[in-house]
Amino acid sequence: MREILLQDRAAYRQNQFGGAVGGTPFHKSVAVFADYQGTRLTEGIDTGNIAVPSTAERGGDFSQIPLTGNVNGNAWAAQLSALLGKSVSAGEAYSTVFPDGQISQSIWSAPENICLHRFLSPTPEPRSLPLRRG
């Protein structure tokens, strides 16, 4: 389903091609036939709305959204334990690892810190959308 407000449509191309050959080689009673059919389908899928980190989330404050999921594996638990300076076990919920929703930027990876500044700045939500139907 396409977003209502999008001006452009995603690319959609469908190509179907093929051919067939056949006959009796050497004028014998044996006939040989071969065919090939190919289909190439390109469906451009709209990405829809992409969430951009809010100003608070860029600072490490995730208290406005619930932290879901669990620490996956012993290696990740050991890495979190070393970074946080407290014991973290595999399978522990992230909401207990970061109970107040604050994740210090000092434990973020270097690529994460670099990429964060390349994102678009968050914009305030519009109060109403000027849509006309009919």
On the 0-12 / 13-18 / 19+ scale of CB atoms within 10 A, 83 is: middle
> What pLDDT does 71 receive?
92
Q: Where are the alpha helices (DSSP H) in the chain?
A: 55-58, 74-84, 94-97, 110-116
The three state secondary structure string of 33-49 is: EEEEEEEEEEECCCCCC
Q: What is the pLDDT of residues 33-67, one digit of tens each?
A: 999 999 998 887 766 666 777 888 888 888 888 88
Is residue 76 a contact partner of residue 90, using CB atoms and an 8 Å limit?
A: yes
Q: What is the pLDDT of residues 86-100, one digit of tens each?
A: 999 999 999 999 989
Question: Is 77's pLDDT higher than 90?
Answer: yes
Q: What is the pLDDT of residues 3-33, one digit of tens each?
A: 566 666 677 889 999 999 998 887 778 888 9
Question: Is 134's pLDDT higher than 90?
Answer: no
> What pLDDT does 48 receive?
66
